[in-house]
Each structure stands twice: as C-alpha cells, then as structure tokens.
Structure 1
Amino acid sequence: MNIRRHLMKIKWAKTIGTGMLVAAMVAVLSACGQSKSTDNASGQSGQAEKEPTVLSFMTTWSETDPFTGVYYKNAMAFQEANPDIKLDIETIPYNDYPVKLSTTAAAGKLPDLILMIDGSATFQQIARSGALMPIDDMMGHWKEDFLPSSKIQEYNVDGKQYGIPGEISYTTVIYYNKKILRDAGYTEFPKTYEAFKAMVKDLKSKKITPISYGNKVGTVVQASLLSPVNERISGSGLYEEIKSGKQKFTDPEFMSALKEVKELSDLGAFNVDLNSIDNVQATNLFLSGNSAMYVDGSWGAKQISKDKSPDFELGFAMFPEFEGGKGSLSTTIGSTNQGVSLSAKLDDAKKAAAEKFLQFMYSKESYQNIMRDGNMVPANVEAPADVNPLFKEMINEFAGVKEVIPPFNIVMPANVTTVAKNGLQGLTTPGGSAPEAVAEELQKELGQ
C-alpha cells in the first residue's frame, strides 16, 4: 500500500466533512486489499522520474584510441557515477578535428562541451569571440598547490580561464643510454650546458654519435632544441617580446641560441641524416646502440619503454642550465592539452552539470589514471604504485618543474615557423645556412 497516497487522502477528507471522511476511509481500506503491484504502479505514476541533463560533447576521445582512450574511459566512469547527467558524444577523427572545430564555431553551433586539444591560436580566437564560457567562478575546486596556475596558462586568454588541461607534453626530454655514457666515463648526466657540450665533444672523439635526431618534419629541432636553448639563455618571455616588437630575431639573445645550435651541428653532435629521417627512425638508431642520446618529447617514453631490449639501461635528463643564463631548471618547454571548454550558451542546469563533469575529469583519481597510461600531468599528484617504473623515473626527473612555456613552433605564426623549419634544417646541415641569414629571414617574415 502506498502510505504517501494514503496520507494525502486523509488530509483531503478533513476538508469536506465527516460523511465524506467515512466514505474516503472505506475506499482506502478497500484499496489495502489490492495487490502490491497495483500499489507500486500507482506510486510510480505519482513520482515521475526527472529527466537527465543532456550535455552535447564534441571530442576526439574514443575507447580504441591509444592516445585518448584513457580520457574516454574517465568520461564513461563519470557517466556511470552521475546517472542524472547524460553525455551526448560526437567523436571526430583527430586529423579532421581542427577544421571541424573552426567551422562549427564560425557557424555559431558549438556543442555544450568542446574538447580543446591545446591552447592553439584557434582556441584563443574562439575564446575571444565570446563563444566560450569562462570558468573562473569554478576554479576554487582546484587549489594552487594541487593545480599550479603556471601549468594551466595555455587555457587562459586575456586573464580568463577557459579550460583545464589533462596532460603536459614536455617537448625536450634527453633520453640517454646509461651504459654508453658510463663506458665513456660519465656516471651522471651533466648539470650545465658547458659540461654537456664537453661531453658531446668527448663522445664524438670516441667515434660515438652523441645525439640521434629525427627532424624530417622540421618542427622537432624548433621544439626540442631551439626552444630550450632560447629559454636557458634568455628566460621565458623572449618569444612574446619578439612578437610584440620589443626584441628582434636579429638581436643578440635570439642570435645566441641560433649560434649554439650551429655549434652543436659543427661539433658533429647529431646523426648526419637528421633532416631526412623521422622520429621512429631516430628512435631505432638510439635503441640499437648507435647513439648515446636521443632528444624528443615526453610522449616518446611510452614507446621507447616498450621497444627497448630488456638489458637496455635507459636514463632521462632535462636540458641543462646555461651558466649565467636567465633560464632555470624549474622551467621547461612543453604544451598542455586535452582541456574541455564550455559553451557560453549553457543555461544554469547545464552549467551545473558541466561543472560536475570538469571536477570529475580533472580530479586526483582521473589524473592518476592518465599517469597510468604513460602521460605527464599538470597536477601535483603522486604517481600511483602501479605506474611503469621507467615512467616514474622520468616523472621524478621533472618533479622540480614549476613553469611550462610553449615552444617556438606553437607561439609563432605559421608562416614564421615554416621559415624556421627551412632555416634550422639549413643550420644543421654541413655547409648550410649561417645563423645571421636565418635570423634575417625570420625577422623579414614576421614583418617588423
């Protein structure tokens, strides 16, 4: 018997007199003899279930994608834990996503939730158009000691936060063969650039290729060599100063970095075919023992750990400091990615649901899942016990990083990075471009 309905009937009966009360009581008592199934059906009709809040979500995440599968699984865990919220997911192939994002935004048809793969110029343009909702009023969920603002700044536009990144990709990790370095007399990796350069010279004199590089696409040297050299010499603000006109590519600070790249090339630091092979081929050179070091992003660790032989002794190092330079080991080059932005058109109910989604997706537990998948994260989260030991070693190497700044090829306009691609490939080719010529071409292309 439905007690709630029974009490409602008694209350109603008191308002219409004793005679009706008796009749109502008889009716109620008769109803008590009915089957439980009838009562249950009656109760359900009086308590209609609340419809879930539906959030449309455009993303590249998919269960089978080796790069984003962990995010999809985290999203499904959110869905299971929050049955009052439904995710209506539209999955776009990664290579098609930039065009889809741009055209959808231009048409004014952005969904409720939008994956912003990184803090690119497209993301910034959409944010400045007013199509996205700032989440500054939600940021109290993430304390500074858990999620430092210096590590999420790529999703901040003009002082407003429009998303939280899921991971950090450090563009400069020096992977090294511990045995080769040990046999050459180095029991620890050099702490300064001068000591690093001396080691390069020494390795070359011993007929060992110091560093394998795969710069066929042209952006690898920009991101993993030019950018850290610039930071270690000039600090973190050089590229913005060049873009604003306060400095030039032809000024001494940027020129110093180009000269260092040229000097490394002239020392024979790299494989001679670095500009004609890709990362996969360069990795194979390193893992086969044909170079002492390999420079690439943190994303390479997962595959290197899988492909290396059991007896291969793998080490990780940050790019060393320049003595007297303005840079610091507490800063490194990288980009943050896998952030979710909100449509500016969300009503209060959808905004509340979206806030719960962000809290879940960028929680300690979710970040630890991302780490288990072999990715670095912007949050100060302890690596779970079941993380790959080699990956944990790399995490420890970068534990002191306080600030992440984007590389040259992310900060600069596309036309400038194209000129840099050609210039740096010339700079690292024997008898190729001179640093002064590369700087002049870059300044000309920037149009200042």
Structure 2
Amino acid sequence: MKKWISILAAAMLVSALSACGGNSGEKAASSPANGSGAANSPTSGSEGTQASGDPVEIVFQSWITPNLTAEYYDGLIARFETENPGIKVKRIQPPANEGSPDNYLKTLLASGDFPDVVTNATIQMFVDADALLEIPIDEEIQKINNYEAEMIDGKLYNLSAIRQPQSLVFYNKKLFEQAGITETPKTWAEMEAAAEKLAANGITPLLTAGDWTSGFTFSVLTSSEIYNHNRAWYADRYDEKVKFTDANWMEAAEYYANLVRKGYFNKGALSIDYTAVEQEFLKGNGAMYPMGSWFSAAEAGAEKDFEVGVFATPTKDGTQYLLGGENAGGYAVSKNSKHPNEALKFAKFMMLDPEAHKGYLQADALFSNLKEPLKWEMSPLQAEIYNLLLNNPPMVGHLNNKVGRVPVAGIQDQYNKVAQNILLGDSDLTQLMASLDDYWDKNKQ
C-alpha cells in the first residue's frame, strides 16, 4: 500500500509540474475538469461560470448497477444542469464487473485524470493518497445522523446519508413450501437442514456468482457470527489481537465450505456474474440468494410466479445480527478539482436534494439516515427488510466496510479469491484463511 501511495504521489507531482490535466472515460472529455498543483478548498463566492463566461465542467464517476442505471444518473444530471445553468457534468463509469470503482480510480489518479466527484469508492484508500477534499461541516451535513462516524482523523471526506443492510438471505417461498420448509433457518445447523431438504427435492438451495458476488456471499454467510461477538474486529486485527486463522473464523469457514462440499450452491457459479445470478433467482432457479437490500428494488419490478421473503443470515447459535453500511458508498470530491465549489454542490445535490435522496433510496432499496428521514413507498419485501433493521442492534460493516476501523485497502479482492477457491474445491481452509492474514499484513500501514 505504501509503495502504491508513493507511486501515486510521484505521478501527481509529474502532473503538477507539467500542468496537464483532463479526464478520460467512457464519454470523451472536451476539456479538463480537474487540474494540478495546490489543493483547492470550497470557498464562498460566485459559482458556475469561468472567466470566459462559459459554463464550467466537472467530471463525475458514476457507479452503474441493475438498479442505478446510466439513465438514472443522466436524469439527475439533467435536472442539476437545468437548476444550475453555469455547471456542466460529464459522467464516466468504471468497466463492467468491477467489485468497486477503486482500481479504475487508482488508474485515473496515477494518470492525473481523477474525477471531480466520485462515488462508491473506498474512502480511506483515497484519503491515504491525498486525493480527496475535506467536506466542511455545515448545516446541511449536520442533518445527517452519525456523520461523525465516517470522519477520518476528525475530517469528513464522504457525503452520504443512507443505511444499507447487507447480511440478508432472500428466499423463494414457493420452493420452500415444495420442500416442506415451514420456518426460515436461524442457526447454521438449520441452514444446512433446509439446504438438504431443498436438494432432496431437486431444488438448488443457494445461488452465488463468480465476480465480487463470491466474496460477498462468503462474507455475509460467515461474518455475522464473528462481528456480532466483536464489533471492532478490524481494529483488533490492526492491533494483532485477532486473526483470520483464529478458531472462530476457521469454524465459520468450515460451515461455508461444507455447504459447498455438499453441492448446495449452483453449478457453474464461477462462470456467471452478479447480473446473471440475480436473474437466476428471479426465474425461480434457486431457493436462497444471499444479497444486500438493493436486490429488493429489482424484485419489486420483476415478473414472477412466486413470492420472495427475507431473513437475516444465520449464525451458529441463532442470534440475529445484521451487517451493512451506514453513511457509506456516498460522494467525495477531488482535492485537486479546479472547481471544488461546483463539485461539492453537485455531490450535495445527489445525496441531499429531497427529490434526489428519495429517488436514490427507492432505486436501490436503501433507508434514509437523515435526522428527519425521508419516506418512500416500500414493497412488501422492503417493509420486511425495514422491520429487520428496526429490530436489530446497530449494524457494523463487513468485507471492505468498517468494523471498528476500515480494513486494509483491497481486502475485498482477497475475500473473492478465498471464496472462489472454496467453490473450486480447495479443501485447505487453513491456507486459504491464512492468505487473508498474509494480505492484511503486507498491505497494512
């Protein structure tokens, strides 16, 4: 990690000395949107026009999903530009199948083309690279619940106001009935028993995929047991108090591997991606689908002949505990933007404008974390998720989200490798879990 930051710093210095800038992406840039040299800070004064009187242009890195489509972002951008005629927004996006925008943004940062506004990035990573602007704590920010928890060294870099439960298992009620399952599983033993009944009836018990979905599935099916008992686990891992090879993690990994060994996951899982596995579940080709709350948005609009239910991922003793994100996955502004005021204005619009905020919640099945939360019309499934959220203790993160502290950068990719190797039949769990410790130790700062 330190080596990567040094490389980035050198690249940014070269960019500054040569006074070159500009942004690249799927949509070609017509003019530079961020520059080089000294960092800018939002200040009071005129916004929205350059000295020439022409509108300023900012570059926005969007994050495209089946719910948050290009059309979704373009519609919001059009409204922002109409309301702010002195600002133009050029949207770019990472390549498909990335688990997060991080690798794409690292490349842009190294080349001097870092966007003015980014979303869904690992914030700590780009704070470490000195790439992000500190967001002033004003009256708008103070409308957000618990925004202080996202601060890094007392400074806010990420603008978000959402809650997103992730350790959920969606299930096909029709297939459960066919298999004679009358209650959703709460313990690991009950999960295995349900999977056994489903398989005995010729039904694929569990669905996953081979991209980032594999690591996500592994994490949500195991981490609730670990982090329920230690809600600062990542902080303790930095302090060498815990390891992935500890007995509790090894037991959780064994539980997951046993589901794989018994053939309870879909065949050929590694050959399909997130979009495809979502459709497999909606087509009725599997009984259980571990996924975050955003899936319920796709479910609400899908045509199918069965009802979908949801339950929290089981734990060893049946204690229900949700993992997820609070005020994560939001918007950040480049420290080197030529137009920091305009960039911050756009970021605030995307998250805090009442219409945009409500639309975002509904599009991706999220829950408002404003002190005066905005309500939206939930589907029956989304109402079930909301009740789970209300009836559980405050969530902590998992995978690449904060558990006491944010994990080392890139840990999500290592989770993916572990999960994919288990799906491929690798039985050496000690070595696989040790690879998470090795990655951590090599990349921690």
Match of 1:189 among 148, 167, 184: 184
Query: Does 1:233 find its partner at 2:226?
Result: yes
1:375-432 superposed Cα distances (whole Å, 9 cap, x missing partner): 42452534323x5555455444445563341415994444x655544433332345x3
Q: Secondary structure at the match of 2:427?
A: coil
Q: Tell me if the contact between 1:226 and 1:257 (Cα under 8 Å) persists in the aligned partners.
A: no
CA 299–232 in structure 1, closer or farther in 2 if over 3 Å, else same = same
Q: Tell me if the contact between 1:63 and 1:73 (Cα under 8 Å) persists in the aligned partners.
A: no
Partner Cα distance (1:220, 1:63) in 2: 15
Amino acid corresponding to residue 236 of structure 1 in structure 2? R
Q: Tell me if the contact between 1:372 and 1:384 (Cα under 8 Å) persists in the aligned partners.
A: yes
Q: Tell me if the contact between 1:420 and 1:442 (Cα under 8 Å) persists in the aligned partners.
A: yes
Partner Cα distance (2:284, 2:383) in 1: 23
Shift of 1:291: 2.3
User: What are the residue-to-residue correspondences of 1:15-30 with 2, within 5 Å?
Assistant: none
The CA RMSD measured in Å over matched residues stands at 4.0
Q: Tell me if the contact between 2:225 and 2:252 (Cα under 8 Å) persists in the aligned partners.
A: no
The residue that corresponds to 2:433 in the other structure is 439
Partner Cα distance (2:283, 2:108) in 1: 46
The residue that corresponds to 1:6 in the other structure is none
CA 403–161 in structure 1, closer or farther in 2 if over 3 Å, else same = farther
The residue that corresponds to 2:156 in the other structure is 161
Q: Provide structure 1 residue ranges, at least 5 long, that are not aligned to the other structure.
A: 1-49
Q: Secondary structure at the match of 1:132?
A: coil
Query: Does 1:362 find its partner at 2:351?
Result: yes
Q: Tell me if the contact between 1:223 and 1:407 (Cα under 8 Å) persists in the aligned partners.
A: yes
CA 181–148 in structure 1, closer or farther in 2 if over 3 Å, else same = farther
The residue that corresponds to 1:92 in the other structure is 92
Partner Cα distance (2:171, 2:152) in 1: 37
Q: TM-score, with normalisation over the residues of structure 1?
A: 0.68
User: What are the residue-to-residue correspondences of 1:420-435 with 2, within 5 Å?
Assistant: 420-430=415-425, 432-435=426-429
Amino acid corresponding to residue 362 of structure 1 in structure 2? M
CA 389–383 in structure 1, closer or farther in 2 if over 3 Å, else same = farther
Instruction: Give the structure with the higher percent helix.
Output: 1
Q: Provide structure 2 residue ranges, at least 5 long, that are not aligned to the other structure.
A: 1-44, 50-55
CA 110–307 in structure 1, closer or farther in 2 if over 3 Å, else same = closer
CA 134–298 in structure 1, closer or farther in 2 if over 3 Å, else same = same
Query: Does 1:316 find its partner at 2:314?
Result: no
Partner Cα distance (1:266, 1:253) in 2: 20
Match of 2:175 among 157, 180, 183: 180
CA 245–340 in structure 1, closer or farther in 2 if over 3 Å, else same = same
Q: State how many pairs are aligned.
A: 377
Higher mean displacement: 287-296 or 164-173: 164-173
Query: Does 1:123 find its partner at 2:126?
Result: yes
The residue that corresponds to 1:7 in the other structure is none
The residue that corresponds to 1:329 in the other structure is 321
Amino acid corresponding to residue 266 of structure 1 in structure 2? R
Partner Cα distance (2:137, 2:142) in 1: 13
Q: Secondary structure at the match of 1:53?
A: coil
Amino acid corresponding to residue 162 of structure 1 in structure 2? Y
Q: Secondary structure at the match of 2:265?
A: coil
Instruction: Give the structure with the higher percent strand.
Output: 1
CA 51–229 in structure 1, closer or farther in 2 if over 3 Å, else same = closer
Shift of 1:345: 7.2
Shift of 1:179: 1.6
The residue that corresponds to 1:58 in the other structure is 59
The residue that corresponds to 2:199 in the other structure is 204
Query: Does 1:148 find its partner at 2:146?
Result: yes
Shift of 1:170: 5.0
CA 444–94 in structure 1, closer or farther in 2 if over 3 Å, else same = closer
The residue that corresponds to 2:32 in the other structure is none
Partner Cα distance (2:384, 2:174) in 1: 17
Q: Secondary structure at the match of 2:357?
A: helix
Match of 1:343 among 335, 345, 354: 335
Amino acid corresponding to residue 423 of structure 1 in structure 2? V
Shift of 1:247: 2.1
Q: Secondary structure at the match of 2:137?
A: helix
Partner Cα distance (1:206, 1:88) in 2: 57
CA 334–272 in structure 1, closer or farther in 2 if over 3 Å, else same = farther
Partner Cα distance (1:293, 1:258) in 2: 19
CA 107–63 in structure 1, closer or farther in 2 if over 3 Å, else same = closer
Query: Does 1:269 find its partner at 2:269?
Result: no
Q: Tell me if the contact between 2:237 and 2:243 (Cα under 8 Å) persists in the aligned partners.
A: yes
Query: Does 1:221 find its partner at 2:211?
Result: no
Q: Tell me if the contact between 1:212 and 1:286 (Cα under 8 Å) persists in the aligned partners.
A: yes
Partner Cα distance (2:89, 2:123) in 1: 23
Q: Secondary structure at the match of 1:94?
A: coil
Shift of 1:298: 3.5
CA 221–296 in structure 1, closer or farther in 2 if over 3 Å, else same = same
Q: Tell me if the contact between 2:324 and 2:396 (Cα under 8 Å) persists in the aligned partners.
A: yes
The residue that corresponds to 1:73 in the other structure is 75
Q: Tell me if the contact between 1:174 and 1:296 (Cα under 8 Å) persists in the aligned partners.
A: yes
Q: Tell me if the contact between 1:177 and 1:314 (Cα under 8 Å) persists in the aligned partners.
A: yes
Shift of 1:246: 2.7
Quick one: percent identity of the two aligned structures? 22
Partner Cα distance (2:111, 2:269) in 1: 43
Q: Secondary structure at the match of 2:58?
A: strand
Higher mean displacement: 373-382 or 314-323: 373-382
Higher mean displacement: 287-296 or 403-412: 403-412
Q: TM-score, with normalisation over the residues of structure 2?
A: 0.69
Shift of 1:59: 0.6
